Amino acid sequence: MELKSIILEDPTTKYPRPPFKEQSQPWPGLASKMDPKPDHGETSYKGSNRLVGRKALITGGDSGMGRAAAIAYAREGADVAINYLPAEETDAKEVIALIKKEGRKGIAIPGDLREESFCQKLVADAVNGLGGLDILVNNAGRQQTNASILDISTEQFDWTMKTNIYAPFWIIKAALSYLKPGSVIIGTSSEQAYDPSADLYDYAQTKAATTNYIKSLAKQLASKGIRVNGVAPGPIWTAVQISGGATQEKLKHFGEQTPFGRPGQPAELASIYVQLAAADASYATGQIYGSSGGAGQP
């Protein structure tokens, strides 16, 4: 059989460029209502059997990077459970349908990660539904723009910390006894861990914490054969940005400041989540893989 050549795509023109339309949705926002709609790889991601038989749990799997990872994992042959908030049911349904279309198990587990008891139930339900667990992606995140530290209430601060720092802590603790040698934990960090924005005082420090826990845990779990790595995206066109994560002014020019002059799309990071989960990446642990259009990394 003759193989078709890959068509070269110019990364500067491959996806929408600013200016973007003003738009705002109540938190947590739906990808399906964004304009333009983000690309999560729905029609483009092609698998090559890299994760056949693997069992993955992805938080925030309804939209954004989590959705791109969920689609890619299913197309690589994995069964996938996703967590999301009840308000995101319509986005989640689309993801579950895409997973099932690949002939894989797609398990929907809605619920709020700010509760330790829910995080424990999430892991138990995922393990029961999948028949085990060997890929854990802590990807859900809370980000709200605030011009001043004085605008951040204790309740808001706590909300960000609970979602971004406590939830992975609770989920990893609940999952650890199921993770056999060869399993992986992946966290979604951010370029904010290295180069925090003025208006993301609370969010940015949680991403520094994420990068840090990944490196600590990688050392702690190495002898158990469990790899722990992270992904550090730059500005990516997702629901978090149009539901309070960015100002309208920032949104209009989203991604413009990067060398590519545009935001990334979730689909452009999918292969990183696959790579970090795949067995052939067996020497990678404690690493943070970036994807940010040419800026933002240390």
Give whichever of 92 and 226 is closer to ligand NAD, judged by the CB atom. 92
Give whichever of 188 and 211 is closer to ligand NAD, judged by the CB atom. 188
CB atoms within 10 A of CB 159: 16
Closest of 66, 63, 23, 16 to residue 239, by C-alpha: 63
Residues that bind Mg ion (CB under 5 A): 62-63, 88, 239
CB 92, min distance to Mg ion, A: 8
236 binds ligand NAD (CB under 6 A): yes
CB 51, min distance to ligand NAD, A: 20
Beta-carbon contacts of 297 under 8 Å, excluding residues fewer than 6 positions away, are: 191, 194, 232, 290
176 interface partner picked from Mg ion, ligand NAD, none, CB below 5 to 8 A per type:
none
CB 179, min distance to ligand NAD, A: 21
244 binds ligand NAD (CB under 6 A): no
116 interface partner picked from Mg ion, ligand NAD, none, CB below 5 to 8 A per type:
none
Q: What is the DSSP string of 135-173?
A: EEEE--------SSGGG--HHHHHHHHIIIIIHHHHHHH
Would you say 62 and 34 are in contact if contact means Cβ atoms under 8 Å apart?
A: no
CB 271, min distance to ligand NAD, A: 16
Beta-carbon contacts of 95 under 8 Å, excluding residues fewer than 6 positions away, are: 61, 62, 67, 70, 71, 82, 106
142 binds ligand NAD (CB under 6 A): yes
190 binds ligand NAD (CB under 6 A): yes
Sign of the Cα pseudo-torsion (9, 75, 282, 129, in order): positive
Angle at CA 71, nearest 5°, toward 273 and 275? 20
Residues written for the chain: 298
Residue from the set 171, 240, 274, 288 that interacts with ligand NAD by CB under 6 A: 240
CB 235, min distance to ligand NAD, A: 5
Sign of the Cα pseudo-torsion (61, 64, 65, 70, in order): positive
CB 26, min distance to Mg ion, A: 12
288 interface partner picked from ligand NAD, Mg ion, none, CB below 5 to 8 A per type:
none
Q: Which residues are catalytic?
A: 203
CB atoms within 10 A of CB 266: 25
140 interface partner picked from ligand NAD, Mg ion, none, CB below 5 to 8 A per type:
ligand NAD
- Going by their DSSP bridges, the two strands 288-291 and 184-188 should be labelled as unpaired
- Name the one range near ligand NAD by CB under 6 A: 109-117, 124-132, 144-152, 212-220: 109-117
Amino acid at 191: E
Residue 259 burial (10 A CB sphere; 0-12, 13-18, 19+): exposed
168 interface partner picked from ligand NAD, Mg ion, none, CB below 5 to 8 A per type:
none
- Name the one range near ligand NAD by CB under 6 A: 64-72, 144-152, 169-177, 221-229: 64-72
188 binds ligand NAD (CB under 6 A): yes
Give whichever of 134 and 268 is closer to ligand NAD, judged by the CB atom. 268
Residue with tokens 């914490």: 209
Tokens standing for 79?
Answer: 């069964």
Positions in the binding site for ligand NAD (CB under 6 A): 28-29, 59-60, 62-66, 83-85, 88, 112-114, 139-143, 163, 188, 190, 233, 235-236, 238-241
